[in-house]
Amino acid sequence: MNIEIDGYKINYKKTGSGDRYALILQGWGTTMDIYNSMAATISDSYTVVQVDLPGFGTSDEPREPWNVDAYGDFVVKFIEALEIKSLVLIGHSYGGRIIIKLATRPGIPFEIENIILVDSAGIIPEKTPAQKRKIRRYKILKRIFNIKLIETLLPATVEEWRSRQGSADYRNSSQMMRACMVLAVNEDLRKLLPDIKQDTLLIWGDKDTATPISDAHLMDELIPYSGLVVLEGSGHYSFLEQPQKFKSVMRSYFGLE
């Protein structure tokens, strides 16, 4: 299904049934269909909404770089457009960032019943000396390669260097979405965690290298009403790598078994 929000064509779908709602917010660079199995874990008791955020899947890209707050503004308008008054928020990776922002935003026009954060982003780790040196080298080379003369004389060299910078998500994103991603990853949300008042379930893969298990323990420590379930042997997509265990955890949490 498509809906228009502020002139953006947005792709979304609903599955399941019931008067209670859950909204899944996706990780960076994914499409909403990746979360079909996640939606299916509770769709016998909830109406589950999946959405391609602006710039993801087939939804229109932002017309200017959006930070996490701007994506939060969009989600508020999306929920209002669907006339949902109360819901559970489920976020994977980048989707968790948005939820942390929304859960601590005053005056939102709907009730957040519960929160589930799955391998969530939001914590900026302390950089090691080696990482700091790499960043310094990158900034020096960036200044060099941004000189127009160098770019004119050696366009292939400059493009090859640029293609090797950043994470795979960054390299695979458009120029606009790269700008959005930079705004997201440079914001540490740990200061907001103590202000989350909703009951919060954290589900994490202990082999996650994108958002390491140390982030999960820190979130569990700082969020007042939280509980952490670790899916051993799984990584950043723990819900796909351990589907049966993930399903069991979700259904137990929602009291569906």
Question: What is the rounded CA–CA span in Å between residue 158 and residue 127?
Answer: 27
Q: Please report the pLDDT score of residue 18 as a whole number.
A: 84
Above pLDDT 70, what percent of the chain? Answer: 81
Q: Which domains does the chain have, with CATH numbers?
A: 2-124+187-253 (3.40.50.1820), 129-173 (no CATH)
Q: Please report the pLDDT score of residue 101 as a whole number.
A: 97
Query: Residue 170, exposed/middle/buried by CB under 10 A (0-12, 13-18, 19+)?
Result: middle
pLDDT tens-digit profile of 218-253?
Answer: 999 999 999 999 999 999 999 999 999 999 999 999
Closest CA to 173 of 27, 24, 7, 35: 27
pLDDT tens-digit profile of 14-25?
Answer: 999 889 999 999
Q: With a cut of 50, say whether residue 47 has pLDDT above it.
A: yes
pTM confidence score: 0.85
pLDDT tens-digit profile of 145-202?
Answer: 455 545 565 566 545 545 555 556 556 678 999 999 999 888 999 999 999 999 999 9
